[in-house]
Amino acid sequence: MSTEQPDVSDPPFRETVRELPARVWIVSLGILVNRCGNFLPVFIVLYLTSQGYSPGAAGLVLGSAGLGNVLGSALGGYLADQLGRRWTIALSGGTTAALTAVIPMLDTLALNIIVVGLVGAASQLYRPAAAALLTDSVTTNQQRVAAFAVFRFAMNLGAAAGGFLGGWLAANSYTELFLGNAAACLLFGVIAVLLLRDVPRGGSGEGGADTSGATEQEQGSYRLALADRRLRRFLLMTVIAELVYIQSTVGLPLHVTASGLSEADFGLLIGLNGLLVLVCELPIAGLVVKRRAAYVLAWGNLATGVGLALTGFATDMIWLAATVVLWSLGEMMYSSVANAHLAGLSPSGMVGRYQGLYGAAFTLGTGVGPLIGAAIYAYNEWALWAAIGVAGVISAQLCLPSRRAPAPVAAEGDDGESRQPDGESRQPSGKTGKPVSGADEASA
């Protein structure tokens, strides 16, 4: 069965969540701990300016972290498939902890740029591995959506708690802040080593591209992954979608202050978004899980784009809050199924690489989005809102199946043909295959 066609015979979503394998809950516990101590991205600029560096210099350091995020996601995908999910998570936690702990000892801008860039890379290694481990642990589309929904709930809960904890630590000592960050990363790695075990993998991923005809070297390359037209389309959609969403931290605050409102009002709007995501994303995942993932993603991107574009028409808190509710709904719809949908495109043996490319596309969009948004806003505010609306429509359209590519098959042997990564079919090789856990998001 194609992963694009939900199974109406699945049990209620709440029951699926309760019956998720222990491995899913362990990974979610690890990300909760990790996010509770993920202070560096939020406080690095304030720390550097407190040390006498200029805002421009702090921006360079932050930019190096962003570049590291992109590279780390790609490298993490490779390591997840080659080294294994468990040890990639452990490597990410231990390396990030060691690098973060030395930041207070750095006394030059160049060293800060290098080390923070390495932290950015090391801190993203775990993402593809964690996503791949969740994918390996379940067998149906509904279980995948449930697993990633639980994972994201833990991530959002940790981020909310980490904001308060980080502010308290920073008020006392930045050294304590970074040591706390290091301790959280190290604990995440320890949880992976002690409690996690990789899931044996084999066969062809359900709904994913078949790679049985490829050599071991070809299966280990990103070139083969990028030969999948559906993946390329998904990655382009991700970049555009993140360019749109990140304007909630660029265009929205600029518009709020231009409308005569305060920074505190902007904080309330962002707090509303965080509260909605924390409380409503799991229930929304249960509502959309039996819908075709491509259309859920499309509606989610459309709601996000339209909601943010309507910001330009809102000049008081009531209407601004209404737009936040709309784009938050889009965010939750998209995030509920993105990783699970991507897992369905992934052939066995390349789940980590697919998730790594998704992570790279995600961080690329969030990295360049503020620069593009600020530049367009400086030219003309209404040009930004128009661009957001158009980009939202484009990202929604990219979620829909391409007319060029035939519909994906479930697995080799279903119709006598198997799927090559570029969407073309080939004659069967005579090798049998069956759907295994880990085939169907984003994402992101």
> Which parts of 297-409 are beta strand (E)?
none
245-249, 297-301, 431-435: least confident range: 431-435
CA distance linking residue 375 with residue 54, whole number of Å: 21
CA distance linking residue 356 with residue 232, whole number of Å: 13
Position 256 scores a pLDDT of 93
In this prediction, residue 206 has a pLDDT band, given cuts at 50, 70 and 90, of very low
Residue in the structure block whose two tokens are 């320890």: 190
CA distance linking residue 283 with residue 336, whole number of Å: 10
- The answer, yes or no, to whether residue 3 has pLDDT greater than 60, is no
| Main-chain phi, psi angles of 403, to 5 degrees | -75, -15
In this prediction, residue 153 has a pLDDT band, given cuts at 50, 70 and 90, of very high
Residue in the structure block whose two tokens are 């300016």: 49
Amino acid type, 23? R
In this prediction, residue 42 has a pLDDT band, given cuts at 50, 70 and 90, of confident
CA distance linking residue 290 with residue 10, whole number of Å: 9
443's CB contacts (< 8 A; 6+ apart) are 238, 334, 335, 338, 339, 342, 358, 362
- The answer, yes or no, to whether residue 211 has pLDDT greater than 50, is no
3-state helix, strand, coil in the chain (%, to 5): 75, 0, 25
Position 349 scores a pLDDT of 86
Whole-number mean pLDDT of the chain? 86
Position 217 scores a pLDDT of 44
| Main-chain phi, psi angles of 426, to 5 degrees | -135, 170
- Average of per-residue pLDDT across 293-316: 96
In this prediction, residue 4 has a pLDDT band, given cuts at 50, 70 and 90, of low
Amino acid type, 285? A
- End-to-end alpha carbon distance in the chain: 25
Residue in the structure block whose two tokens are 């199974």: 7
Q: Say if residues 81 and 350 touch (Cβ distance below 8 Å).
A: yes
Position 330 scores a pLDDT of 97
- The answer, yes or no, to whether residue 126 has pLDDT greater than 80, is yes
- The answer, yes or no, to whether residue 440 has pLDDT greater than 50, is no
| Per-residue tokens: 287 | 């509502």
- b vs e for 315-349, b when ≥16 Cβ sit within 10 Å of the residue's Cβ? eebeebbebbebbbbbbbbbbbbbbbbbbbbbbbb
Angle at 273 between CA 270 and CA 274, to 5 degrees: 90
Residue in the structure block whose two tokens are 């964690």: 130
Nearest residue to 428 (alpha-carbon basis) of 414, 438, 440, 439: 414
- The answer, yes or no, to whether residue 295 has pLDDT greater than 50, is yes
- Average of per-residue pLDDT across 325-330: 97
Counting residues of the chain whose pLDDT is more than 70, the rounded percentage is 84
Nearest residue to 350 (alpha-carbon basis) of 251, 162, 218, 161: 218
- b vs e for 90-112, b when ≥16 Cβ sit within 10 Å of the residue's Cβ? bbbbbbbbebbbebbebeebeeb
- The answer, yes or no, to whether residue 202 has pLDDT greater than 60, is no
Where helices occur in 37-173 by DSSP H, the ranges are 40-50, 55-82, 85-101, 109-122, 126-137, 141-172
Q: Say if residues 190 and 63 touch (Cβ distance below 8 Å).
A: no
Position 59 scores a pLDDT of 87
Torsion of CA 425, 412, 359, 19, to 10 degrees: 150
- Average of per-residue pLDDT across 205-224: 55
Q: What is the pLDDT of residues 339-397, one digit of tens each?
A: 999 998 999 889 999 999 999 999 999 999 999 999 999 999 999 999 999 999 999 99
207 torsion bin: left (phi>0), alpha (psi -120 to 50), beta (else): left
